[in-house]
Amino acid sequence: MRSACLILGLFTVVSAQNGHSPFAGKWIRQEIKGHPRIAWVIHFQEKTMTLNEISEAGMPIRTGVYNLDGSPARSSPPNQPNLQVTSRLESKTNTRIVISDETRAPVVQHASMRVQETWELLDQGGTLKMVRKVESLDSPVKFGDVVQLFYRTPQTATPPK
């Protein structure tokens, strides 16, 4: 029994090092009336996780790079050098990931915010539930949580409506 647990643990470590994760792959957001469809492509490298959000037309919306060791990654969005984004992977298990992005806009009042997303796998890994919490870093403004569902899909599949 101990050897089976040791082999399973070793397989998990090797899989993680090779970029395999239950979250890796392409996900299509559940259709939301009045909003275009988007896709997430999640990729794991040796030391980082990358999230690419893509519009229905194939245009990039956002890219987030998160260090798997939890250390902060700093960036500025293209064409917005005054914005400073600090991204962190706060926790990761085989069924749950928590990421956060803090955006600081030093030249614009009340534009700094923290966005935390909790991703949870449901339906044996076929559905990704994302809960997004947004808070202002400059004022006591409160925002409601956003919950969205994404469906794992091969390139040609259509998610349920």
Query: For position 17, which CATH number holds?
Result: 2.40.128.20
Q: Is residue 124 part of a domain?
A: yes
pTM over 0.95: no
- Which alpha helices (H) appear in 2-103, and where do they start and end? 2-17
Give the single-character DSSP code of 78.
Answer: T
pLDDT at position 14, please?
A: 35
Closest-CA residue to 128 (of 148, 108, 150): 150
Residue 157 placed within a domain:
no
| Domain membership of residue 94 as a residue range | 2-152
- Residues 4 and 8: their CA atoms lie apart, in Å, by 6
- Residue 147's pLDDT is 96
161 found inside a domain:
no
Residue 23 belongs to a domain = yes
Cβ pair 52, 41 in contact under 8 A: yes
Q: For the chain, how many structural domains are there in total?
A: 1
Does any domain span residue 159? Answer: no
pLDDT at 30: 95
Maximum Cα–Cα distance for the chain, whole Å?
60
Q: Quick check: is 101 in a domain?
A: yes
- What confidence score (pLDDT) does residue 138 get? 83
Query: Quick check: is 158 in a domain?
Result: no
CA distance 73 to 82: 16
pLDDT tens over the chain, length 161 residues = 444 333 333 333 333 434 579 999 999 999 999 988 999 999 999 999 999 999 988 898 888 899 999 999 998 776 777 788 999 999 999 999 999 999 887 666 667 899 999 999 999 999 999 999 999 888 887 788 999 999 998 754 444 45
* Ranges assigned E (strand) in the chain: 25-29, 38-44, 48-55, 60-67, 73-75, 84-92, 96-104, 113-122, 127-136, 146-152
Task: Give a yes or no: residue 43 inside a domain.
Answer: yes
